[in-house]
Structure 1
Amino acid sequence: MSTTYPESRTAYLLVDPYNDFLSDDGKVYPLIKPVADEVGLLDNLRTLDREVRAHGVPVFFVPHRRWEPGDYEGWDHPNPNQMKVFQRHHFARGEWGGEWHPDFTPKTGDTIVQEHWGSSGFANTDLDFRLKQRGITHVIIAGLLANTCIECTARYASEMGYHVTLVRDATAAFRPEMMHAAHELNGPTFAHAIVTTDELVASLAQ
């Protein structure tokens, strides 16, 4: 059964659309490319960007912390993902890898929320505040990675009372089993809808 997305109360959350994640020469893209190619990630993200804007759905950019010198140094217990960023300088501020992918850049009227240090786009940011100020109750979440920032952001959204939609082919992960866990095992415990890009576009058209 398709989900109805209330006009003026639905937002599209695009998580971490950086060159390092989505461009051929990005530091992370080669690791997700097999899964990304299999699901048609880039084309589906382009379709979502076009369709949500055509239907007047506000777009929120939900960016990971851009690494800069000094980050994580002296921390008591950085998590494993933070240690990877510390060692490899993913999404470095002021560098190409930390810039938006050219197909997914903020437009006039878009909202860029505070950068998240961990996996959740809500924790220690202004995302919840800014969504509530727009009267948003339904969130559509896409971007990277399926089993980390997407899942954590979506779980947090559900816990805070939002209606959550995951778009299973507008994300990717390092391995197919991570995608399977995100959408077949974990997602159904908190997401209200888990759909394909085509299914979402059809629902928006209603």
Structure 2
Amino acid sequence: MTSIYDPRITALLCIDFYNDFLSEGGKLWPWVKDIAQEINLLDNLRSIVRTAREAGITVYHVPHHRSEPGDYADWKYPSPYQLGATEGQIFAKGTWGGTFHDDFQVQPGDIVATEHWASSGFPNTDLEHKLKRYGKEKIICVGLLANTCLEATARIGMELGFHVTLVRDGTAARSREALHAALDIDGPTYAHEILTTSELISAIKNATSTDKSAA
């Protein structure tokens, strides 16, 4: 049975909704373009965000660190991905690529977490505090990449005690193998729900209808 998404305790985590990932001309768009277009990612994300807002579910923006020259100059063990990001100035601060996609700009009432430096949106950020501060117990995770930032954020969310939902067509990866690993191999080991966009939207709308009927 699909979980009930009570807006009072549910948050939608929008992970790394940058132009570099989601827009034609973005530095990482070629990585995900084929899969994103195949699963209709952008339209699905638009539908999920719109439905969440209409239901009163708070939208949390979970942004990756915006690159600046010299970011890792004094780090002892930066990862290969981190070094690649700074070399390519991925999500560069003050640039179009490091700006949220036009369709997913911050709106009044949204919450923006501090930027994460590695994959997960939780370590060394205020995301956990900002979720628990407002009584959020359930997190719906959408965004990129399925097998890096989304998986790491969702997995640690479970470790911290949150109910975790993944959305099959609300994420993408560099390959079908990576997407399969994230959703079909790793996901079931920690996620409480793995839904499609249509299933999630139905569940959110049902919860809203039930809440109004009870009132």
TM-score, scaled to structure 1 = 0.98
Residues 109-128 of structure 1 aligned to structure 2 (within 5 Å): 109-128=109-128
Q: Give the fraction of aligned pairs with identical amino acids, expressed as a percent.
A: 50
Equivalent position of 2:211 in the other structure: none
1:177 is the counterpart of 2:177: yes
2:4–2:203 CA contact under 8 A, matched in 1 = yes
2:12–2:57 CA contact under 8 A, matched in 1 = yes
Give the SS at the match of 2:118. Answer: coil
Residues 7-51 of structure 1: CA deviation (Å, up to 9, x unaligned)? 300000000000000000000001110111111110100001110
Residues 136-151 of structure 1 aligned to structure 2 (within 5 Å): 136-151=136-151
Letter in 2 for 1:28: L
1:87 is the counterpart of 2:87: yes
Letter in 1 for 2:155: R
Q: RMSD between aligned alpha carbons? A: 0.7
Residues 31-180 of structure 1 aligned to structure 2 (within 5 Å): 31-180=31-180
Q: How many residues align?
A: 206
Equivalent position of 2:12 in the other structure: 12
TM-score, scaled to structure 2 = 0.94
Report the alpha carbon displacement of residue 81 of structure 1 after superposing the two structures with TM: 1.3
Residues 129-150 of structure 1: CA deviation (Å, up to 9, x unaligned)? 0100100000000001000000
Name stretches of at least 5 consecutive residues in structure 1 with no aligned partner. Answer: none
Provide the C-alpha distance between the structure 1 equivalents of 2:89 and 2:60, rounded to a whole number of angstroms. 24
Report the alpha carbon displacement of residue 74 of structure 1 after superposing the two structures with TM: 2.8
2:69–2:86 CA contact under 8 A, matched in 1 = no
Provide the C-alpha distance between the structure 2 equivalents of 1:71 and 1:40, rounded to a whole number of angstroms. 34
Provide the C-alpha distance between the structure 1 equivalents of 2:81 and 2:112, rounded to a whole number of angstroms. 22
Name stretches of at least 5 consecutive residues in structure 2 with no aligned partner. Answer: 207-215
Report the alpha carbon displacement of residue 205 of structure 1 after superposing the two structures with TM: 1.1
Letter in 2 for 1:204: I
2:70–2:86 CA contact under 8 A, matched in 1 = no
Report runs of 4+ in structure 1 exceeding 4 Å deviation: none
Letter in 1 for 2:138: H
Letter in 2 for 1:175: S
Letter in 1 for 2:132: K
Provide the C-alpha distance between the structure 1 equivalents of 2:122 and 2:196, rounded to a whole number of angstroms. 24
